[in-house]
Amino acid sequence: MPQTSRLKAGAAETIITPPKGAPTLGTIQRSTGVHDDLYARALVLNDGKQRIAILSLDLIGTDFELSDEIRDAIRARTGIATTLVHCTHNHSGPFNIPWSVLGPRWVAGPGKSWRDGLAPKLTELVVQAEAKSESAILRAGRAPVQLGTNRRLQSEQGVVMKPNPSGPVIPWVDVLCVDRVDKSPIAVLFSHAAHPVIIHGSSRLVSAEFPGFAAQKLKELLGGNVVAMFGQAFAANINGDPLRGGLEAAAHAGEVLAEATLQAMSNSKAIPDEEFAITSTHAGLPLQLLPLRHDCVEVLRVAEERLLKHYGKTSFSDEQLWDMQDDVETAKSQNESKAANDVQPMEGKAWWMTDTVLCLRDLLNKIEQKDERPLRFDAHLLRVSDHWSLVAATHELFAEYQLMLDQGSPTEHNMMLAYTNGCESYIPMDRDLALGGYEAATFPDLDGASLRYRHRRALRLGFEKEVVEKLRSLWR
């Protein structure tokens, strides 16, 4: 085995746990403490002509603004042109994704210093990773494993979010091994498709969920200097099992994933020491047309009446809705007075109704502003000849896209990541628009995710062809 190679690689990790009290998406409440820290992990690859930085963050996601800020800071400091800011889509971390109106406001208020500190901290992490660079060899592998179940079940009421055992899943883990020339590991990037919702609403403690438990287990088994990085695949319609199973169930899932990763590593094949091909694609996907103003006003009226009836009030301004949630959350978290029992919990149904009103008011503003901007869609490909490729795309993509691309890929080994460089929408299939359900519903469905994401409506029919074409074009 040669003592040097064309490829240089370095990896590093750092803690990015938010302060106590940061609200998590899983509970829609302020966190009460930390069960296990959240990490940012970085891998820098250099083929002698170009460099790429891959980040894995134990977060639910990022909006485009934050992702661009991080990548620009890394480029300015290091000169690295391509950075993949990937998130594991962890539901037991801070609620910083641009989903809903109530949820992500923490990062603009009490959590702003934490949010603003991410770009410089991650830039320094990439600098540290690159400083550790040494001659390296790559290996790629795959092994069977399935931590989740498709969550779109056809029922008499339409598509509901319940386990659908016959629905599509990604029943494997893909692995990229980054080793020194003496075969000792520098890092391992492992990817699987399943929403980290095994803890979800069962605990108010911050945790990295099953991806974090898997990473820590791999670190124990492979050695303390190894950086184990999880990558969330196309998991938009796959929930980890068991939903709300708790911390122990999530830890068990992490161990199962770690064991499958080890199997994939043992079966892996060497990737030739050749130059990278790095390509990108961008699109503006058309959203459904804004609804008519009088339709939005009528639906908003019904939503407000529902909320007013729940609270026995006659009216609510936006400011009062904000204050009401703050008062309830403060009373609940402090639990120091009778006030905690005097107010209705701003969670579950009440939280959803309040957020729905705010989302509809925001949609009405978009109608008045004639805001018809398309949905930004980006994807990147890192490829080594016909041997291995990594696709990294924005948003929450349905599993069907990965299955389709994996089958038609010209490379022998494939790895695919969603939730990269921005996550602001679901990307279902065309047929799902007619079927509806949480991920594919749009106005006036008040229970759909599309009303929560900042665009407030779903994609326009025909988007699937453009998404597939854009992704396939990466290999060309």
The predicted model gives 67-89 an average pLDDT of: 98
Confidence (pLDDT) at 97: 93
Partner residues linked to 185 by β-bridges? 179
* Residue 25 clears pLDDT 60, i.e. is over it: yes
Percent of the chain's residues with pLDDT above 90: 84
Confidence of residue 316 (pLDDT cuts 50, 70, 90): confident
Confidence (pLDDT) at 224: 86
Confidence (pLDDT) at 342: 37
Q: Mean pLDDT check: name the lowest of 170-179, 318-327, 440-449, 451-460.
A: 318-327
Confidence of residue 324 (pLDDT cuts 50, 70, 90): low
The pTM score is 0.94
The predicted model gives 125-141 an average pLDDT of: 98
Confidence (pLDDT) at 348: 62
The predicted model gives 351-356 an average pLDDT of: 89
Measured CA to CA, the distance from residue 204 to residue 296 in angstroms comes to 35
Q: Mean pLDDT check: name the lowest of 97-101, 140-144, 350-354, 399-403.
A: 350-354
The predicted model gives 148-172 an average pLDDT of: 97
* Residue 229 clears pLDDT 70, i.e. is over it: yes
Measured CA to CA, the distance from residue 164 to residue 153 in angstroms comes to 5
* Residue 337 clears pLDDT 50, i.e. is over it: no
Question: Torsions phi, psi of 332, nearest 5?
Answer: -70, -45
Check if the beta carbon of residue 97 is closer than 8 Å to that of residue 63. Answer: yes
Measured CA to CA, the distance from residue 349 to residue 371 in angstroms comes to 29
Confidence (pLDDT) at 273: 94
Confidence (pLDDT) at 308: 87
Check if the beta carbon of residue 449 is closer than 8 Å to that of residue 359. Answer: no
The predicted model gives 110-132 an average pLDDT of: 97
Confidence (pLDDT) at 90: 98
CA 337 vs. chain centroid, Å, equals: 37
The predicted model gives 19-26 an average pLDDT of: 93
* Residue 67 clears pLDDT 80, i.e. is over it: yes
* Residue 414 clears pLDDT 70, i.e. is over it: yes
Which tokens belong to 133?
């660079």
Confidence of residue 238 (pLDDT cuts 50, 70, 90): very high
The predicted model gives 417-423 an average pLDDT of: 98
Q: How far apart are the first and last CA of the chain?
A: 33
The predicted model gives 13-39 an average pLDDT of: 95
The predicted model gives 261-271 an average pLDDT of: 98
Secondary element (H or E) of residue 82 = strand 82-87
The predicted model gives 245-267 an average pLDDT of: 98
For all residues of the chain together, what is the average pLDDT? 92
Angle 368-376-378 (CA atoms, 0-180°, nearest 5)? 175
The predicted model gives 283-303 an average pLDDT of: 97
Domain limits, the chain? 8-283+375-473, 293-369
DSSP 404: H
Confidence of residue 312 (pLDDT cuts 50, 70, 90): confident
Confidence of residue 317 (pLDDT cuts 50, 70, 90): confident
Measured CA to CA, the distance from residue 125 to residue 41 in angstroms comes to 8
* Residue 345 clears pLDDT 90, i.e. is over it: no
Q: Mean pLDDT check: name the lowest of 37-41, 246-250, 352-356.
A: 352-356
Confidence of residue 410 (pLDDT cuts 50, 70, 90): very high
* Residue 310 clears pLDDT 60, i.e. is over it: yes
